[in-house]
Structure 1
């Protein structure tokens, strides 16, 4: 297809990423596929935001626009666009020219104008209400609602602007493409638009979990099963291919080389990590097990040596998948119905129902990357400790730990029986090899945050606590293999 304009529809069709020109909703020359995509956006707002419904276009919808396309589009588009729409699975507008600065008042007028561009039936800006969820001068998350008289529904979306300095550690192109791909397989709410410094995406009714709930005996099998589904259905190669396509289209010769997997991300983070007191102290107190014994070595050199050692020990011990990489409690959403039943008490029938109608959703895909599945699982278990770093809450990575066996059985979609002992044992061994990497990863991340974040949190202390997790794991790892499990 011809090079698209700066603003475009980014379309997932037949597993690939494609671009269709975007014109203002009231433009006299707007594209004949505009109504098709606009209707898709409206239906995604009106339907359940759990994204359980199929996204693909119907034959009737595709046929209804084929004639109008053939009348108004160049010859080389006449066959291509109907084909793309016939295999449609997800789309979002890309509006790189729109920037909304985070502020205490939320810049509500700017937000409303942007929403009117994205949703053609939200033309009356005065009817759009905006609720500040989080934010200020560093970031902003807004809940935006409009009452649709035609459907008698209150339509909600979330608008998020990127936080200060986060471009240093988060690949925003990857986040955008990952969200599109996940939505295309019905495991994420729709992403409606990407603008210059943020996203507009679907609102999931429900609530996020508290960290103490991650070990709830009703919830943890559902979380495990959902993560297993993610790792099976979200194709990491599809994300990489779509990302390459996006950068070629919009970045061209100026496209930067970005990290393609977890190891590259950590290596890049180490390069920009300042000498953080909490990490420096932790590294000094563990000199005896460090790979680099030089007491005058820089923090970056010490951590680079540890990363090289880690890769040599565990890199090929777990299959690479599309990992969420940030499954803390706040990114796990449960339905309002389940929340109410948890408080009142679930019956046996309720538990069985939720096993086949899983109400868990994962949100926020900022850190998604190609990574070993055992890292994603181990990272989730580390989040059981909360931000107070109460490590007693982390499940022991042992084959004799019945809770972990149940969790792994749910992840593998198996019954926790003697018949399935081998695959469950193998997964637990796999996970145990990665129990130190989350602390290493988030320790470095926290060190970087200590220099760029304006959030009132002791990132230096947290960085030291998380890095110490790595050293403690390494001491155990270096014991005889039979002592690890």
Structure 2
């Protein structure tokens, strides 16, 4: 699928270093990378700081001095994440976004990760993304990414159904641990039920008319960096980026208002907040596309219906993702519990959003 994303001519090449960074001895591996990337740095003066033990990767910041003016981020891919992530597509997305001023500078890739520029600012939490000052910046930045033109007028297609089918083929059928397996069998729907839901989504959502655009596809709060001093937001982590339905990207972001570690779906944005957000987004999207920025109530309502229906697909997608992680990931996180939460929310929301109708 990676050849669908075309890196603009003149984009800087990204060096590949034939190095592997072990999670256990990450400092030594980081130092080997810095010999190439920052040869003037003295190893004894370099501070390495684990910024996040994320639920997919490990992220280490490397810098000299106290001001953290030049920080090299080293991201080590999690165990078996190549099953879930197309690394070639991720790299192309990163380079496209960088060429449009939407991503940090990418310094290099290595055997099991990549290095890139640190974005000054704060990673957000759920309480921030419902703040109008901040969510307007998020809506505008997402509109900017969605407005990036496909190469030579090519009409892109979503690869979401392809990825969903792939994830479905990888979900475990059982777990070795008896207690975990019992929990899995009790709380996760059967493969037949999941397959039927997947077919229903494809038939129903594909016909909603949502445009296919370049999407982030994983806009959780921690992937949004807010620089208050400059009044800007930037997005990080493009592992799941690619062409997808516009409404999916927004619906996925709205789902993330609930958080990850302690999921609370009462935080899902209400209709009023969504309509403000979507109007702001549509005005920016039209501006970036070079159209009149006038937005009608009907346009907002159409997008509202599309977004809330596609939010279902987001729950389902990450539910499958978490089941695979529960099988393979070495990260200390209750992936099975997270899968159950996402799939439960899918079935809970389905009757409510199915009842929504697109205005004629």
Pairwise same-fold verdict (TM > 0.5): yes
- Pair 236,418 (structure 1): closer, same or farther in 2 beyond 3 Å: closer
User: Is it true that 1:275 corresponds to 2:176 in the alignment?
Assistant: no
Distance 2:168 2:215 in 1: 21
Q: How much has 1:188 moved relative to structure 2?
A: 0.3
Distance 2:188 2:7 in 1: 49
User: Is it true that 1:15 corresponds to 2:2 in the alignment?
Assistant: no
Contact 2:74 2:113 in 1 (8 A): yes
In the other structure, the counterpart of 1:366 is 239
SS at match of 1:90: coil
Contact 1:193 1:201 in 2 (8 A): yes
- Pair 326,179 (structure 1): closer, same or farther in 2 beyond 3 Å: same
In the other structure, the counterpart of 1:206 is 121
User: Is it true that 1:215 corresponds to 2:118 in the alignment?
Assistant: no
Distance 2:7 2:36 in 1: 27
In the other structure, the counterpart of 1:89 is 11
Contact 1:192 1:200 in 2 (8 A): yes
- Pair 361,479 (structure 1): closer, same or farther in 2 beyond 3 Å: closer
Distance 1:448 1:93 in 2: 31
Say how many residue pairs are matched.
Answer: 335
Structure 2 matches for 1:414-425, cutoff 5 A? 420-425=296-301
Contact 1:90 1:181 in 2 (8 A): no
The one of 238, 241, 265 aligned to 2:163: 265
TM-score after normalising by structure 2:
0.83
In the other structure, the counterpart of 2:59 is 141
Q: How much has 1:202 moved relative to structure 2?
A: 0.5
Q: How much has 1:130 moved relative to structure 2?
A: 2.3
Q: How much has 1:439 moved relative to structure 2?
A: 1.0
**Greater relative contact order: 1 or 2 (C-alpha under 8 angstroms, separation 6 or more)?**
2
- Larger Cα Rg: Structure 1 or Structure 2? 1
Structure 2 matches for 1:74-473, cutoff 5 A? 88-95=10-17, 97-103=18-24, 105-106=25-26, 108-119=27-38, 121-122=39-40, 124-135=42-53, 139-146=57-64, 154-233=69-148, 235=149, 261-275=159-173, 280-282=185-187, 299-317=190-208, 318-337=210-229, 354=231, 359-387=232-260, 388-396=262-270, 401-413=271-283, 420-473=296-349
Distance 2:42 2:146 in 1: 41
TM-score after normalising by structure 1:
0.63
Q: How much has 1:269 moved relative to structure 2?
A: 0.5
Distance 1:228 1:448 in 2: 31
- Pair 453,419 (structure 1): closer, same or farther in 2 beyond 3 Å: closer
> Once the two structures are superposed, what CA deviation does each residue of 1:146-165 show, in whole Å capped at 9, x if it has no partner?
46xxxx99421101111111
> Once the two structures are superposed, what CA deviation does each residue of 1:215-259 show, in whole Å capped at 9, x if it has no partner?
1122111111111111112x4559x99xxxxxxxxxxxxxxxxx9
Distance 1:393 1:465 in 2: 14
Q: How much has 1:337 moved relative to structure 2?
A: 2.2
Contact 1:378 1:434 in 2 (8 A): yes
Structure 2: 5+ residue runs without aligned partners?
A: 175-181, 287-292
> Once the two structures are superposed, what CA deviation does each residue of 1:314-347 show, in whole Å capped at 9, x if it has no partner?
1142111121111111001111526xxxxxxxxx
Distance 1:480 1:427 in 2: 11
Mean alpha-carbon deviation: is it higher for 323-332 or for 417-426? Answer: 417-426
> Once the two structures are superposed, what CA deviation does each residue of 1:77-128 show, in whole Å capped at 9, x if it has no partner?
xxxxxxxxxxx33332122x2111111x42x233223222234x53644443
Q: How much has 1:200 moved relative to structure 2?
A: 0.6
- Pair 411,143 (structure 1): closer, same or farther in 2 beyond 3 Å: same
